[in-house]
Chain A
């Protein structure tokens, strides 16, 4: 059983389109991170959210943490080819202090 479910698994869009990817769980997380990973590289941290209902913006990326801290979304406005990559969400549980649980990721391809 996957603790963090990410959807969609694959997403292919044209440059300039908007998109949203989701990270859902039945568990309450103390914190949640979004990472972006390119082929052959390690995950690079995009954002950490810790407060229910929190919204953070990073240029064209908007991250939201659900009120109940069980889910999160990542919205990209006017996607660019440079946004292509694997987007991973990871959560910290108070019962598993120190161990992050990862979703299987959303593979995003933005075509020029």
Chain B
């Protein structure tokens, strides 16, 4: 009963380093979404991907952030030259069909701390 897997669960980086966050969707799901959450706030959409395609990246910062979902392997959210303001919990979700009526299932998140 493998759900959405994310690793690492906790990541500490110094300012200027790179952070790589991984997400393996639920078995059979081909739609992946990344969200960011600050303490005591809701989730803010970042990017929606299907295999080898970025469908909607309207929530991604224009610089330093990128995401991919290759044909094989997990989806990767990459943050280059991290700054303290990048510290947050990053959640990945997956769904089977995509679209506005499909339900997204979430992973446990990666908590990024930038020193």
Contact = CB atoms under 8 A, between A and B. Distances in A.
B109 interface: yes
Contacts of B40: 86, 105, 107
Interface in B7-45: 31, 33, 35, 40-45
Contact of B108 (A31, A41, A86): A41
Interface stretch (A13-21, A42-50, A74-82): A42-50
Contacts of B99: 92, 97-98
B48 A99 contact: yes
Interface string B82-96: 000000000101000
B100 A93 contact: yes
Contact of B109 (A41, A50, A94): A41
A99 B56 contact: yes
Interface string A100-112: 1111110100000
A35 B103 CA distance: 11
A30 interface: yes
Interface of A: 6, 29-31, 33, 35, 40-45, 48, 50, 86, 88, 90, 92-94, 96-105, 107
Interface of B: 4, 6, 31, 33, 35, 40-45, 48, 55-56, 58-59, 91, 93, 98-109, 111
